[in-house]
Amino acid sequence: MSQINQYRRKFLGAASAAFTGLSIAPGILLQTVHAKANDEAVTSKQRWGLLIDTNLCEPGCTDCIDACNQENGLRDIHGPETDAQWIRKVTLKHQKTGHVLNMPVMCQHCAEPPCVDVCPTGASFKRADGIVLVDKHICIGCRYCMMACPYKARSFIHEKLTDQLPHAPRGKGTVEGCTLCVHRIDRGENTTACTQACPNGAMTFGDLKNPESEISQKLAQHSGKELRAKLKLDTGVRYQGIQG
Cα gap 26→29, rounded to integer Å: 5
Cα gap 69→151, rounded to integer Å: 19
111 forms part of the interface with another protein (CB under 8 A):
no
Q: What is the DSSP string of 108-173?
A: ---SS-HHHHH-SSS-EEE-TTS-EEE-TTT-----HHHHH-TT--EEE--S---S-BTTB---TT
242 forms part of the interface with another protein (CB under 8 A):
yes
Footprint (CB under 8 A) of another protein, residues 207-236: 227-228, 230-231
Residue from 126, 142, 183, 191 binding another protein (CB under 8 A): 142
Footprint (CB under 8 A) of another protein, residues 10-69: none
Footprint (CB under 8 A) of another protein, residues 165-204: 172-175
78 forms part of the interface with another protein (CB under 8 A):
yes
Residue from 46, 69, 155, 195 binding another protein (CB under 8 A): 155
Strand 154-156 to strand 100-106: parallel, antiparallel, or no bridges (unpaired)?
Answer: unpaired
Distances in Å between the alpha carbon of 3 and those of 7, 10, 11, 72, 203?
A: 6, 11, 12, 60, 64
Near another protein by CB under 8 A, which window of 16-24, 126-134, 141-149, 209-217? 141-149
Near another protein by CB under 8 A, which window of 23-31, 43-51, 132-140, 179-187? 132-140
Cα gap 189→186, rounded to integer Å: 7
The residue (of 157 and 208) whose beta carbon lies closer to another protein is: 157
Longest dimension (CA), the chain: 93
126 forms part of the interface with another protein (CB under 8 A):
no
91 forms part of the interface with another protein (CB under 8 A):
yes
CB of 71 to another protein, least distance (A): 18
CB of 241 to another protein, least distance (A): 11
Q: Which residues are registered as beta bridge partners of 124?
A: 134
86 near 74, Cβ under 8 Å?
yes
Binding site for another protein (CB under 8 A): 77-78, 80-85, 88-96, 101, 105, 114, 116-123, 138-144, 146-152, 154-160, 172-175, 227-228, 230-231, 242-244
